[in-house]
Amino acid sequence: MKIAVFNENKVGVVEGNNIIDISTVVDWNNEDSQASLVKLMGNFDSLKPKIETSLDSCPAYPVEEVALRAPVQNPSKIVAAPINYILHKQEMNTALTVDGLGFFLKSPSSIIGPNETVLLPFRDRRVDHEAEIAFVIGKEAKDVKAEDAADYIFGYIALMDITVRGKEDRPWRKSFDTFTPIGPWIVTSDEVENPNSLQMNLWVNDEIRQSANTSDLIYDCYKFLEAASSVMTLLPGDIVTTGTPEGVAPITKGDTVRLNIERIGEFSVQVDYKPGI
Ligand code: MN
């Protein structure tokens, strides 16, 4: 099932070219979509048949006629993997990988949704795109082993980890407002099947910049959940993002950045300078 947030933070199921508004079916509070998402995930086993039987009677709209919003709006944290593909390690010319670096946190306030705008905070510093597969924690996870990790993942999203290059620590360089575009919706785990074998492509102005497969992850989705949950409790609604493959490159004012992940979907954002810089 593809679960989207749209227009005035309503919740919908995407089927083909349509989005079906299930807000009333799942008692969704559009003034607190994060709490509503956590409740939906907690009750999903009983809600799923109810959602499926009501799809024919709920209002439906063409997806291209609604405004998609970030499918996760206010997680308690965004856990992110540094250097988790070998070819990205080589292009960054660094010694360590996720194995030695662990993880870092991005600010949840950096989240934006599809068709929003990344605002560059500097005119004279390099800012890069990073294409990543990310997942949404469905139930509290602590000390979870990789072989059990799938049980804790509600679904998958596409994520851009926008990054200022330089010597500051990663949370500073990756937490500017607008630096975490996510979308286009959450695809539930059953529909993704194997997240560790998906093609991922990123274009800037229709020029392909990143093209890789999640099968090349050093720590795959499950192993990275194990590593993160060995340190801290992952809460329902948290986002975990797994790192970028090779091909990172600068973005600048006027660019359109488009990310597509197999089985998950595609979305774009625009790039501009932050007002006043
Ligand atoms: Mn990254």
| Average pLDDT value for residue range 175-196 | 98
Radius of gyration in angstroms for the set of CA atoms belonging to the chain, rounded to a whole number: 18
| Average pLDDT value for residue range 221-240 | 98
- Cα(64) to ligand 1 centroid in Å equals 29
Q: Kindly state the tokens that stand for 259.
A: 């990310």
- Cα(233) to ligand 1 centroid in Å equals 21
List 178's β-bridge partners, or say none. none
- Cα(106) to ligand 1 centroid in Å equals 10
pLDDT of res. 217: 98
| Average pLDDT value for residue range 216-241 | 98
pLDDT band at 220 (very low <50, low <70, confident <90, very high): very high
The CA distance from 118 to 162, in Å, is: 8
- Cα(140) to ligand 1 centroid in Å equals 24
pLDDT band at 257 (very low <50, low <70, confident <90, very high): very high
- Cα(149) to ligand 1 centroid in Å equals 21
Of the chain, the percentage scoring pLDDT greater than 70 comes to: 100
- Cα(251) to ligand 1 centroid in Å equals 15
Instruction: Give the chain's mean pLDDT.
Output: 98
- Cα(161) to ligand 1 centroid in Å equals 5
Residue with the two structure tokens 């709006």: 73
- Cα(223) to ligand 1 centroid in Å equals 17
- Cα(264) to ligand 1 centroid in Å equals 18
Give the residue among 57, 49, 51 at the shortest CA–CA distance from 27.
51
| Average pLDDT value for residue range 90-109 | 96
- Cα(243) to ligand 1 centroid in Å equals 4
